[in-house]
């Protein structure tokens, strides 16, 4: 699987506690599109993780699709859970309009509602219906096809240049 290139995302969720909402976020490279009608995606999450427990409690999550300039975010949210939670306090993020899960500054985003899950070895495959989505274009990168993704390959992060106008 080291030879299979994947996109990199940060997935966020939350738990509502008596003293307020506690957010959690995690770097993943397991986002998969499952269906267009209805719009379904899946995530593969390690069984027993605190993040999976929070996601199953809220049954809501957001996905921030990282671009080539977001390796620092990917590394932050690949750290242990306590460090990830502390990092959320200092980063620009906003609650998604449909779920309230945090959206980070990223090239594209999805918001999902739990639909189902399947046990798969030591992970759970969590399936969600996409309830909202969007893209962000920076001022210097506003062409619709100019997204340069961050990918994971051979155990490290890599970048793919955005296509030029003639590459469509």
pLDDT tens profile 56-86: 999 999 999 998 888 899 999 999 998 998 8
For residue 16, is pLDDT > 50?
Answer: yes
Residue identified by tokens 């199953």 is: 56
Query: What was the pLDDT predicted at 137?
Result: 61
For residue 156, is pLDDT > 60?
Answer: yes
Overall pTM surpassing 0.85 (yes/no)? yes
């Amino acid at each position: 699987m080291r030879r299979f290139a994947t996109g990199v995302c940060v997935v966020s969720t939350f738990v509502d506690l008596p003293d307020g909402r506690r957010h959690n976020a995690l770097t993943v490279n397991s986002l998969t599109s499952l269906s267009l009608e209805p719009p379904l995606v899946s995530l593969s999450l390690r069984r027993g993780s605190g993040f999976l427990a929070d996601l199953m409690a809220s049954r809501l999550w957001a996905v921030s699709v990282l671009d080539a300039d977001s390796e620092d975010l990917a590394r932050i949210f690949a750290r242990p859970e306590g460090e990830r939670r502390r990092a959320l306090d200092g980063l620009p993020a906003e609650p998604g309009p449909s779920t309230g899960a945090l959206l980070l500054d990223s090239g594209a985003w999805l918001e999902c509602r739990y639909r189902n899950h399947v046990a798969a070895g030591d992970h759970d495959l969590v399936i969600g219906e996409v309830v909202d989505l969007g893209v962000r274009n920076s001022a210097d990168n506003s062409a619709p096809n100019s997204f340069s993704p961050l990918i994971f390959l051979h155990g490290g992060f890599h970048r793919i240049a955005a296509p030029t106008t003639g590459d469509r």
